Structure formats: C-alpha cells, structure tokens
Structure 1
Amino acid sequence: MPGYFGAMASLSPLHRFHQRHPWSHNDHYGPWVVGRVTESGARHVLDVGCGTGNLIALLRERDAAVTVTGLEPDPATARTAVERFADDPAVTIAATDFAGRPAQRRWDAVTLVAVLHHLPLAPTLRELRGCLAPGGRLVVVGCYRQAGPVDLLAALPAVLANPVMGLIRHPARAAAPPPHMTAPTAEPQDTLDDIRAVAARELPGARMRRRLFWRYTLVYDAPAARA
C-alpha cells in the first residue's frame, strides 16, 4: 500500500508477512467514508480513483437511492469495475482520470481514497472544491510522506497492528494479491504538515486527522447556496 511500503521497506519480515496475508488499508476506511457521505445526505457521488469499486459497492449497499460515478484511469482495473456494476444503472464507471471527469457537473459528495497523492496537491484541491454542489461534501482518505520522529512514533501502532489485521482479514496464505490491490501505486511526496497547510488555504474549514495505517482523513463541506 502507498506509504506502507515506503515506510516499512527496512522491515522486510513485516513486508513479506503482508504479502502472504494481504489486506487493504484503504478498504479499512471504507465504512468510515460511507458514513461521512451518507450523513451529508448526498444523492449523487463522484468517486475519484474508484479501483475495482469496493467503496461504490458499500455506498450502494448503505443507500439504494444514491447514484455513483466512478473514475478509474487504469484500464484493467476499470474493466473489472465496469463488469462488476454492469447490472446496476445507478453506477457509472469511466475509464479516465480526474481530469477526464464531466467538466460542468457538480456532485453532492466527492470521495478520494489513496488517490490525492497521485495528483498535484494544491490545484487538485482547488478543482475538487469546484466539483461540489452548494453544501456538498469532500471526503478524502490520503497517504502522506513520513518526515521526522513524530511520524515514526505515530507509525508504531500500525506496525504492531498490521500483522494482526492480516491474520484476521486474510488468515490463509495468498498466492497473489487480490484484484483490488493490483492497481498502480505511488509513494506520497507531501508531508502531513504540507497537506494541512495547503488544505487550510484551498479548503477553509476542512477537518483533518492523522489516522492509523499511514493514512490521514480530510472532510470539507462546501458553503450552502444563498437563499
């Protein structure tokens, strides 16, 4: 996973264990993301970098009235998502990146899970703000570059919990990673402090938190329409 492999490269036994008992750090936060979307009352959702559609499936299970547009630039991963939701008219999968989204459309909620670090931070946050309908919500689960002793100390609980979660989520040894963990990844370049500073400028009022498993979360609510 982004962040995990970079931070834990020196801990090769842990890395090998994760390969034998793979589980998705991103999917771990799926229910949290769905909760933030549904509590906002969103009806039309854009999922940027949707992968094989695990988050979309959770959204549709939680709220049958929600419609979801998923963007996935990796062709093979996008094909898997298209096939998965072929019989669901409320889901649209587009084999494109964020730049290929419908330019004039606005959504009630936009989600990004382990995607933002693939994109230029400040311009993307600015464009994401513009994708929201009045009162819409942006929900991000992101990866950050570790820098300094505070980040290393904060990572220790994840180092200890990661193998335990692997045994719980995937007790049998895996011959290969599951399909939803095979999309291209990248190491994050921005530190948590960098991201906080840019978010404060581009998304006034956004709430950010450091999270377990080398992640942070960000929630931003766009201003409501004026009466």
Structure 2
Amino acid sequence: MVLRAFLDRVNRRHPWSHNDHYGPWIARRVVGIGARDVLDVGCGAGNLVALLRRRAVTVTGLEPDREMARAAAERFADDPAVTIVEAGFAGRDLGRRFDAITLVAVLHHLPLVPTLRELRGCLAPGGRLVVVGCFRETGRVDLLVSLLSVFLNPVMGLVKHPARAAGLPLHMTAPTADPTETLGDIRAAAARELPGARIRRRLFWRYSLVYDAPAGDSLAAPPRAT
C-alpha cells in the first residue's frame, strides 16, 4: 500500500498522456502509405491532428465532447486544411472515404464489430486504419505487462514532465470509460471484419491495430451511421 501511494503521488505530480506517447508511432504508420486525406476519430484537443497535419494534406477530426471540440477548433482556426467536427463517429460524412483513419482510446467507447465494419467501409482503396486502443485485462500475460507498466509509468512521467504539475492538462481531462472487450475479443472481431489486421499488445494498457484495405477493396461495406 505504501508503494502504491508513492506511485500515485508521483503520477499526479508528473502526469503524461499514454495516448500521446503513441502519437509519433501512429503518424509514421499514416505517412508510410503516403496518406493525403486523414480522419481522426475522437480527436480530443487535437494533439494527434497536429502531428498528422505535418504529414497529410487535409485532416478531419471528429470529437463528441463539446469542450474538447471547441479547443481543437480554436487551435486550428487558421488552418483551412484542418476540419474539426463536434460529433462522434456516427456524425462523419457518410459519403466520404479517407486514405487513413486513426482512433486512439476511442474504439472501446463504440460497439466493436459494427464499428470495425464501418471503419473498413470508410477507407479508400489501399487506405490504412490505425488504432491504439484499450482492452479489458485477463490472464497472466496481461497481468505481467500491466505490472511492468505500473512501475514504468512514474519513470516516464519524470522523463516527459520533470516539472511538478499544478493539475492535468486539458487533453487529459476528456471523458473516459472502462473497456469491456478483452484482447482476445478484439482479435476475433478483427479477424472477421478486418482480414490481415496486425494486432499487438503494448505497454501502458494499450494495444495497436493496423489494417490495410486492399487496393480494390471488394470487402468494403457502404459507410453507415453507427
């Protein structure tokens, strides 16, 4: 209990975003296919949008939380190549397909199977889906990786945010939800809806999923509202 209390104090004093940690990795996956038109679902305050904008021609961010959407819209108010829409995934342009779609800590807020199917339908031929998500831990491997993350978390906080913080930054105050699907559930759903998707367990209570749509994607379903 003493150790846990100490770790909690360090984490509060030196907060850092597990989601932003994977931002550069996501951006490299997007630029790797030469994507020009990108959709970021659940863009929050726009941290990933900013990384993507350096590498893509246009970026559309969807964000259902009013405060976060407003902050992102103000951030990119002078950039005509960035569009922020105060909406969830169901509020996307249903007639539009994208070269790349990104979701970070968002998929567990949505119904898994139908959302994966609709994400596939939103990709242009040859497009790429990049997900960094949360999952419900189960089994020994999840426990071991989680314990490793617990001890690495304050170390990363001290490295990334050495100055003591007065409070959490805005982008770390977005609404959260506990995931219900295990990594096994996600693998099984992806095997059905996104054939060939690459899924990996990651540190800091995350997994990654990368799916490349075929150049002539006969599997793609027409985009629908979730």
| TM-score w.r.t. length of structure 2 | 0.92
Q: CA deviation at 1:12?
A: 4.4
Match of 2:10 among 14, 17, 34: 17
Pick from 19, 24, 29: which aligns with 1:26? 19
Q: Residue 75 of structure 1 is aligned with which of 63, 66, 73? A: 66
> Could you tell me which of 151, 156, 172 is aligned with 2:147?
156
Residue equivalent to 1:41: 34
Alignment partner, residue 224 of structure 2: none
Corresponding residue for 1:213?
204
Indicate yes or no: 2:115 matched with 1:124.
yes
Post-superposition CA distance 1:152-209 (Å, at most 9, x none): 0122221221111111111122221001101101111111111111111110000000
Q: 1:186 aligns with which of 147, 172, 177?
A: 177
* Structure 1 position 16, deviation (Å): 3.3
1:50 equivalenced with 2:43 (yes/no)? yes
Question: Between Structure 1 and Structure 2, how many residues are aligned?
Answer: 215
C-alpha distance in 2 between matches for 1:172 and 1:221: 40
Distance in 2, matches of 1:12 and 1:75, equals 34
CA distance in structure 1 between the aligned counterparts of 2:124 and 2:5, rounded to whole angstroms: 45
Q: Which SS does the other structure have where 2:127 is aligned?
A: strand
Q: Which AA in structure 1 matches 2:41?
A: V
% identical aligned pairs:
73
Q: Which residue of 2 aligns with 1:105?
A: 96
3-state SS of the aligned residue for 2:79? coil
Superposed CA RMSD? 1.3
Residue by residue over 1:104-145, the C-alpha shift from the partner in whole angstroms, topping out at 9 and shown as x without a partner, is: 100000000110011010010001000001111000000111
Rounded Cα–Cα distance in structure 2 between residues aligned with 1:60 and 1:199 = 28
- CA distance in 1 between counterparts of 2:168 and 2:180 reads 25
Q: Which amino acid aligns with 1:141?
A: V
Q: Deviations over 1:9-65 (max 9, x none)?
A: x9444233212210000000000000000001111000000011101111122x2x5
What is the one-letter code of the residue matched to 2:12?
Answer: Q
Q: Which residue of 2 aligns with 1:59?
A: 52
Q: Secondary structure at the match of 2:26?
A: helix
* 1:200 corresponds to: 191
TM-score, scaled to structure 1: 0.91
Unaligned runs of 5+ in 1: 1-9
Q: Distance in 2 between matches of 1:138 and 1:155?
A: 26
Secondary structure at the residue paired with 1:93? strand
Output the CA distance in 1 between the equivalents of 2:178 and 2:6.
20
| Structure 1 stretches of 4+ moved >3 Å | 10-13
Q: Which amino acid aligns with 2:25?
A: W
Aligned to 1:6: none
Question: Unaligned stretches of 5+ in structure 2?
Answer: 218-226
Aligned match of 1:138: 129
Whole-angstrom distance in 2 between the partners of 1:140 and 1:109: 11
